[in-house]
Amino acid sequence: MQNKGGVPVIFALALLIGLIISIQLNTSDASDQGGLVTYAQASALERQLKEVRSEKELIMAEYLELEQRLKEIEEQSISEDALLQAAMKDLERYRMGSGVLDVKGPGVIITIDDPVPTEDNPGDGYSTIMIRSDLLLSLVNKLKDAGAEAISINGQRIIAKTEISLAGDNVNINTVPTAPPYTIKAIGNPETIEGTLTIRFGIIEIMRNNYGLQVSIAKQDEIEIQRYNGVLRYLYAKPVENPVAE
């Protein structure tokens, strides 16, 4: 009698295990581009990204400290000569105009992400915003038109020679590969910038309605924008010799 009592229990358990195994197999079978993948795979990469970002923060802090020490030495050793003091002021103005100093101020933060894939519309495996990176180009131009004084996309400062180019599968900004979600920071008059972007049939409406992108825009009292991290080196361009030294 006791023997017979155990059989249905084992039967039920075996059924459950079979079910679970088949579910597991089903969810991990979607490795082809176009299907869906489990969140677990994404969260592993998310963790990795967080680690890399905190590592970068350490390096950034080291850099700032080094810069501070250099600045101290410079200030100590440079004489009180008026000409040199004026030159130091000029240098700061030039560096600010070149985008190699960290800045802050009021402005807006815009985030852009690809359309949410749904059962009916899983997407074709390509990122909409990356293929239409001219939308980013256009957005940046509109920001400048609205009087933005400093702009960055995913931490890449927009300077005079910044490109936004689709290279292979990546969008390169300042030759650094970037991917969605895109966070665009702009310092300037928050009202003017928001008004320019959210105008009817404007750039944000086009992004949302024509391309299904997820766009959000938020006004902020204070935004920090990092300096340009690349190397400024000119191989072809030379300054025209100025007869009058500044």
Residue list 211-240, contact with other proteins (CB under 8 A): 224, 229-232, 234-240
Our CB check for other proteins shows the closer of 44 and 216 to be 44
φ, ψ of residue 147 in degrees (nearest 5): 90, 20
Binding mask 89-128 for other proteins (x = CB under 8 A): -xxxxxxxxxxxxxxxxxx------x--x----xx-xxx-
Question: 191: helix, coil or strand?
Answer: helix
Site for other proteins (CB under 8 A): which residue of 1, 4, 22, 23? 23
Largest CA distance in the chain: 110
Spatial contact of 169 and 88, defined as CB atoms under 8 Å apart = no
> In the bound complex, what is the minimum distance in angstroms from residue 209's beta carbon to other proteins?
18
Alpha-carbon distance of 205 to 32, in angstroms, equals 32
> In the bound complex, what is the minimum distance in angstroms from residue 189's beta carbon to other proteins?
6
Which span sits near other proteins by CB under 8 A: 21-29, 197-205, 206-214?
A: 21-29
> In the bound complex, what is the minimum distance in angstroms from residue 126's beta carbon to other proteins?
7
> In the bound complex, what is the minimum distance in angstroms from residue 208's beta carbon to other proteins?
19
Closest CA to 219 of 196, 239, 235, 203: 196
Window 136 to 195, contacts with other proteins (CB under 8 A): 137-138, 141-142, 144-145, 148-151, 154-156, 158-165, 167, 169-170, 172, 175-181, 187-189
Residue 73's CB: how many other CB atoms inside 10 A?
A: 9
Our CB check for other proteins shows the closer of 70 and 218 to be 70
Site for other proteins (CB under 8 A): which residue of 25, 59, 82, 244? 59
Which span sits near other proteins by CB under 8 A: 10-18, 198-206, 212-220?
A: 10-18
Which span sits near other proteins by CB under 8 A: 66-74, 200-208, 209-217?
A: 66-74
Closest CA to 167 of 159, 156, 178: 178
Closest CA to 111 of 232, 218, 243: 218
Q: Is the dihedral of CA 158, 184, 209, 177 positive or negative?
A: positive
Our CB check for other proteins shows the closer of 41 and 209 to be 41
Count of residues in contact with other proteins, rule CB under 8 A:
127
Which helix (DSSP H) or strand (DSSP E) does residue 106 occupy?
Answer: strand 103-113
Alpha-carbon distance of 230 to 126, in angstroms, equals 28
